[in-house]
Homo-oligomer: A and B are copies of this chain.
């Protein structure tokens, strides 16, 4: 069960309204690599966890922290969409962006070209669980497979893509309040990248999994002949110049082999069989009409 405090985890106050930036900031709230994604991913990984308790507790602790990140971003966006107190008092809002939205003037329409119209029409200047083009968050962004090595690798990715996006957003504003909050989120992503990398190491040292994941599948059942081959499916061999093309493999179980001119191992393409005619597909030769 969950409880809520009266404070934000960190500051979430812009120095000034900026509805255009609010739209962009939506990406790390409701986008594929945004805070809702990691919140939901970690909570579901934790609730579904069948590994030792330390993993479950660790995962759920981060998941719980991420709810607070969602809270900060939602609040920040709602504030970026505010008009200034003065404007409200005067009931005018003539020279602000919001004023332009409401006024419907031709010239000002230009200014709000980049604003998400749903912020005004649908959400009344509140944050929405959507990304920077207004596409709604969906649960395919939530990854929980029951295999922690596969999932922790996803988590490292999520914290990398997430930190990358927050860094880009940091560059796109010079509002000190916004940058202050982003510097907090970037630091937490630094922590979480490290945390999941450490968790992968822990998992391997605990003997619970290793490369190639899942280690619980007996490797003698895979077609070992092709398990460490690089297939060069193009003209030229620039792809030979990396350590993925020769030398020992990271799992310590093989040597990379480079096939410069790989040949198909499978059968010649042959025709598929005919279907039951009652499916009315195109046959190989003319047939009379038929029905059951």
| Interface contact A184-B226, CB-CB below 8 Å | yes
Against B, the Cβ 8 Å flags (1 = close, 0 = not) of A137-159 are 11111111111111001101100
The CB with the most chain B CB atoms within 10 A, among A1, A6, A188, A219, is that of A1
Query: How many angstroms between the C-alpha atoms of A71 and B46 in the bound complex?
Result: 10
For A110, A120, A129, A156, which residue has the most chain B Cβ atoms within 10 angstroms? A120
A197 touches which one: B48, B57, B208, B250 (CB < 8 A)? B250
Contacts of A134 in B (CB 8 A): 133-135
Distance of A237 from chain B, by nearest CB (Å): 8
Establish whether residues B197 and A211, one from each chain, have CB atoms under 8 Å apart when the complex forms: yes
Q: A256 contacts which chain B residues (CB < 8 A)?
A: 194-195, 198
- Is the Cβ of A52 less than 8 Å from the Cβ of B286? no
A188 to B52, CA, bound (A): 31
Contact of A187 among B114, B165, B226 (CB under 8 A): B226
Query: Could you list some 15 contacts between A and B, CB below 8 A?
Result: A6-B234, A6-B235, A9-B266, A48-B127, A56-B271, A85-B274, A102-B172, A110-B111, A121-B169, A136-B139, A163-B212, A163-B213, A183-B222, A184-B223, A216-B283
In the complex, chain B residues whose CB is within 8 Å of the CB of A203: 282
Which residues of B are found within 8 Å of A122, using beta-carbon distances?
27, 31-33, 132, 145, 165
Residues of B within 8 A of A238 (CB): 53-54, 56-58
A93 to chain B, nearest CB (A): 5
The answer on a CB contact under 8 Å between B164 and A190 is no
Q: Is A38 an interface residue (CB 8 A)?
A: no
Q: Which of A91, A229, A239 has most chain B Cβ within 10 Å?
A: A239
Contact (Cβ within 8 A) A235 B5: yes
Contact between chains at B114 and A143 (CB < 8 Å): no
What is the CA–CA distance of A250 and B269 in the complex, to the nearest angstrom? 31
Nearest-Cβ distance from residue A244 to partner chain B, whole angstroms: 4
Contact status A50-B272, CB under 8 Å: yes
Q: How far is the CA of A58 from the CA of B240 in the complex (A)?
A: 8
Assembly CA distance A114 to B274 (angstroms): 23
Q: Which residues of B contact A278 (CB under 8 A)?
A: 102, 168, 171
B48 near A167: Cβ-Cβ < 8 Å: no
Segment 223-244 of A: residues with Cβ below 8 Å from B: 223-239, 241-244
Knowing A49-B272, A118-B133 are in contact, say whether A61-B232 is a contact too (CB < 8 A). Answer: yes
Q: B117 and A24: CB pair below 8 A?
A: yes
B193 adjacent to A129 (CB under 8 Å): no
Complex contact A133–B116 (CB within 8 A): yes
Q: Looking at the complex, which one of B68, B128, B131, B146 makes contact with A281 (CB distance below 8 Å)?
A: B146
Nearest first, the 6 A-B pairs at minimum CB distance are A124-B146, A113-B113, A8-B266, A48-B126, A133-B134, A113-B114
